[in-house]
Amino acid sequence: MNGTWPTAAARIGGIDLQTVCDEVPAFNAQWPAGQVGGKAPGHPPLLSDA
């Protein structure tokens, strides 16, 4: 990772640059399989799919 976007991401997120540099590759390793089509955690829906 290089450039200004990691610095901006750290500033916006209120974290240090090293955390961004450590976490972005881990997040990207899950994309898209870990993100697309997954159900969000939380309460079950009140209405059925039918």
Of all residues in the chain, the percent with pLDDT exceeding 70 is 70
**Residue 3 is encoded by which pair of tokens?**
């450039």
Half-sphere exposure of 29 (CA within 13 A, CB side): 5
pLDDT digits (tens, 9 = 90+) for 16-28: 999 988 888 887 7
User: Looking at this protein, which amino acid is placed at residue 9?
Assistant: A
Q: What is the largest CA-CA distance in the chain?
A: 49
**Residue 15 is encoded by which pair of tokens?**
């974290």
Half-sphere exposure of 6 (CA within 13 A, CB side): 13
Is a pLDDT exceeding 70 seen at residue 8? yes
What is the spatial distance between Cα 43 and Cα 31, in angstroms, rounded to a whole number? 24
